[in-house]
Structure 1
Amino acid sequence: MKNLKELFRRAGTTLAVGLALNATVSAAQAAEPLPKLAVTVFSPPSQSIWIPVLIQRLGLDRKHGFELTVTPKPSNVAYTDFATGRDPVCFCAAIAAVSRFKQQGADFTLLWNIFNFESDIVIRDPAITDVKQLQGKVVQTDTITGSWALSKWFLQARGVDLGKVTIKSSSARGAAGLAELQLGRVDALLVNPTEGAAAVAQGKGALHALPVFDKAVWQKASGTDFVPSITLGVASPWIAQASNQALIRKFYAANREAAEFIRQKPAEAARLVSKDAQVEVGALQGVLERYRDLTRIEPLRRHIKTVALLTQKLLPEGGQLPRPLTDAELDSLVSAFDVEGRNE
């Protein structure tokens, strides 16, 4: 009996020591700062701000073991800082735009698709119901963006003679662009779906929007039903570091979760990001519901044939790239890095 009591005493002591050790380790882990990830997005009302802000609002960054910071910048500044390596992680890397930087020797790669291509033409004249009627009109848009490059291709493919359209390039977004339209200084705005919805809502019945993307036109050209467009771009030296590879996989997982939240709860998602997106909640909810397939988080390498079609044929032929990407440039542009960690 005495031996049995001594056995229990020793077991209890061992258990207490083990629990104390586990508590110490847990406390030490809790005290360790989370790795930080800084991403650049376009200034609002760009849609590139949606997912990073939603990740922050839902706490998905901390859930997946990192701390996210988001820096909005005007499109020209965001692209310059990304192409030069100043900002190693760009959440607004449009394939059609950054392919030019790859041809110029910029050292970066694209990891995953974020948004499929969509853009709207916002018009004041109710008589304009077809994009071909833009001929003879003044259209304002931000021509530095990939959205413009793809929009240009679609407009031409749909029969618009852009030689007869006056394109006014401006990085002015939101209220500034809308004012140009309402004051009659331009006839139309070519913008992303978020800006389009916000403009139509603010126009209170005086404005309407026409979509630029045409599924039938794209299916004929590519055999697919969507255009990968806005991607996550990273500097090649940055992603070569093992610590950053682990960090970016955590970010990818948070992206997937945020995208699913948008699909399942568009009204709540709109409420959470409306302030940072600088879009009225109802208008943003309308975009999220209208374009339920706009967000498509997938490794871009799965769609390398479509990217090849864009960068080696359609965009060069349309004048949006000075020449086709070489096979080596294409392979460098579309990363083979396993963001899902399936082969780990």
Structure 2
Amino acid sequence: MNKLSTFGLATLFAATAVTSSFAQTLDKISIVVFGAPSLGAFLPPIIKAQKLDEKNGLAITFDERTPDAYTAQFNSGEYQVGGSAALLTVGLADLRGVKVTYLFNLFDFWGAVVTSRPEIKTLKDLEGKDLAAAKGTTNWVMFDWFARQQGVDTSKIAVVNTATPGLVGYALADRASGVQLWEPAYTSLMAKKPSMRSLDLKIKESWQKFTGTDDIPYLGVAAHTDWAEKNKPLIPKLYAAYKEAADWIVAHPEEAAKLIAPKGTPDDQKAISDLVKANDRLGLNVRWASSSKREIKAVYEAGRSIGFLPDYPSNATIYEGAKQ
């Protein structure tokens, strides 16, 4: 073997060793999230495409599940970290003896009810009618609360329960009097069927009256308490990966839309980029749970007021290990 070949092999072996060493230094985290279209599936493709997990010393695997499967697998401990962690489901898990903690917020609350039926003009008109919804989600519970603030008897609404990916299909096919959904499904739907009408939930008005603030922390990343205690050094890295993904989306909305909706049409992708630019319905707001204690407790109070939460969740559900 000549000297050049020997040098080439040595260089190859050295590069392989460095790559192997780098891979070994990455801490692995498996995170369960809702399947697309959902807020929980909004940031993961950015994190992976931009390698923001690796940049922060992590190797994150995102596994998509339906809402019901997500709740079952996260609460059972099959997954120790959840990236579609809605506050009310975190609070309910705590009250059922599952020790979990809300690490940081990703999105503030926004939801909608859409309809094609001319006779449905207000939420009250849904009484005695059917409404397609993902009933296993916190977005549904929050809708229930907002509807009751308008005097709607939600027990008189026949709920057609479906997984989040099915909501857009129900609306497009006009298979129910209304459909309760949120972003990014709402934007996807309106891009396909702009004739759909959105009923007024009076979100800001009702929440301001109830809490004195417009701030509604809603969905973020949660973990089992014992995992959080054992992996404290990883949590700021996880937060950084998500925060950098959020910042990247804001700075590159058109590029982000192609990653978030890779199979979407140009119109679909433009709708996503417009959603990011406005951020009024998206509610992208990454912050530590510990910086929003008052607002989180207000969400718990809303859940308790309609009987979703039988009591107040413990303070341990609000992670205190890091602050902004």
- The alignment's TM-score, normalised by the length of structure 1, stands at 0.81
How far, CA to CA, are the matches of 2:149 and 2:138 in structure 1? Answer: 17
Q: Judging changes above 3 Å, is the alpha-carbon distance between structure 1 residues 127 and 33 closer, same or farther for their aligned structure 2 residues? A: same
How far, CA to CA, are the matches of 1:226 and 1:277 in structure 2? Answer: 31
C-alpha contact 1:153 1:315 (8 A) present in aligned 2: yes
How far, CA to CA, are the matches of 1:213 and 1:190 in structure 2? Answer: 14
C-alpha contact 2:134 2:162 (8 A) present in aligned 1: yes
Q: Judging changes above 3 Å, is the alpha-carbon distance between structure 1 residues 190 and 290 closer, same or farther for their aligned structure 2 residues? A: farther
CA shift at 1:127, angstroms? 5.5
Q: Judging changes above 3 Å, is the alpha-carbon distance between structure 1 residues 178 and 306 closer, same or farther for their aligned structure 2 residues? A: closer
- The alignment's TM-score, normalised by the length of structure 2, stands at 0.86
Question: What's the CA shift string for 1:203-250, capped at 9, x where partnerless?
Answer: 2x3323345361121111111112111121101111111xx2222211
The SS at the match of 2:36 is: coil
CA shift at 1:189, angstroms? 0.7
Q: Judging changes above 3 Å, is the alpha-carbon distance between structure 1 residues 230 and 297 closer, same or farther for their aligned structure 2 residues? A: same
CA shift at 1:98, angstroms? 2.6
Structure 1 residue identity aligned to 2:50: L
Structure 1 residue identity aligned to 2:275: V
The SS at the match of 1:320 is: coil
Q: Is residue 274 of structure 1 aligned with residue 289 of structure 2? A: no
For 2:308, the equivalent position in structure 1 comes to: 320
How far, CA to CA, are the matches of 1:182 and 1:254 in structure 2? Answer: 35
For 1:227, the equivalent position in structure 2 comes to: 216
For 1:196, the equivalent position in structure 2 comes to: 186
Q: Is residue 304 of structure 1 aligned with residue 293 of structure 2? A: yes
* Max Rg structure: 1
CA shift at 1:296, angstroms? 1.0
Q: Is residue 166 of structure 1 aligned with residue 154 of structure 2? A: no
Structure 1 residue identity aligned to 2:139: S
Structure 2 residue identity aligned to 1:131: L
C-alpha contact 1:53 1:70 (8 A) present in aligned 2: no
Q: Judging changes above 3 Å, is the alpha-carbon distance between structure 1 residues 29 and 83 closer, same or farther for their aligned structure 2 residues? A: same
The SS at the match of 1:232 is: strand
How far, CA to CA, are the matches of 1:300 and 1:145 in structure 2? Answer: 20
CA shift at 1:185, angstroms? 3.0
Report the number of matched residues: 307
Q: Judging changes above 3 Å, is the alpha-carbon distance between structure 1 residues 74 and 31 closer, same or farther for their aligned structure 2 residues? A: closer
C-alpha contact 1:110 1:335 (8 A) present in aligned 2: yes
Q: Judging changes above 3 Å, is the alpha-carbon distance between structure 1 residues 91 and 212 closer, same or farther for their aligned structure 2 residues? A: farther
Structure 2 residue identity aligned to 1:233: A
For 1:248, the equivalent position in structure 2 comes to: 235
Structure 2 residue identity aligned to 1:231: G
For 1:236, the equivalent position in structure 2 comes to: 225
Regions of 4+ moved over 6 Å = 276-279
% same residue: 24
CA shift at 1:114, angstroms? 1.1
How far, CA to CA, are the matches of 1:60 and 1:142 in structure 2? Answer: 31
50-59 or 290-299: which moved more? 290-299
Structure 1 residue identity aligned to 2:98: A
2:146 to 143, 154, 157: 154
Equivalences for residues 74-85 of structure 1 within 5 A: 74-85=66-77
How far, CA to CA, are the matches of 2:113 and 2:45 in structure 1? Answer: 26
How far, CA to CA, are the matches of 2:47 and 2:118 in structure 1? Answer: 39
Structure 2 residue identity aligned to 1:89: V
Q: Is residue 283 of structure 1 aligned with residue 271 of structure 2? A: yes
How far, CA to CA, are the matches of 2:225 and 2:154 in structure 1? Answer: 37
CA shift at 1:339, angstroms? 5.7
C-alpha contact 2:28 2:58 (8 A) present in aligned 1: yes
C-alpha contact 2:167 2:181 (8 A) present in aligned 1: no
How far, CA to CA, are the matches of 1:55 and 1:86 in structure 2? Answer: 23
Structure 1 residue runs of 5 or longer lacking an equivalent are: 1-22
Q: Is residue 71 of structure 1 aligned with residue 63 of structure 2? A: yes
The SS at the match of 1:230 is: strand
C-alpha contact 1:249 1:339 (8 A) present in aligned 2: no
C-alpha contact 2:290 2:323 (8 A) present in aligned 1: no
CA shift at 1:159, angstroms? 2.9
For 1:102, the equivalent position in structure 2 comes to: 94
Question: What's the CA shift string for 1:179-204, capped at 9, x where partnerless?
Answer: 4344443111101121112122222x
How far, CA to CA, are the matches of 2:139 and 2:294 in structure 1? Answer: 20
Structure 2 residue identity aligned to 1:61: D
CA shift at 1:270, angstroms? 1.0
How far, CA to CA, are the matches of 1:42 and 1:202 in structure 2? Answer: 22
C-alpha contact 1:117 1:213 (8 A) present in aligned 2: no
Structure 1 residue identity aligned to 2:224: A
CA shift at 1:55, angstroms? 1.0
The SS at the match of 1:155 is: helix
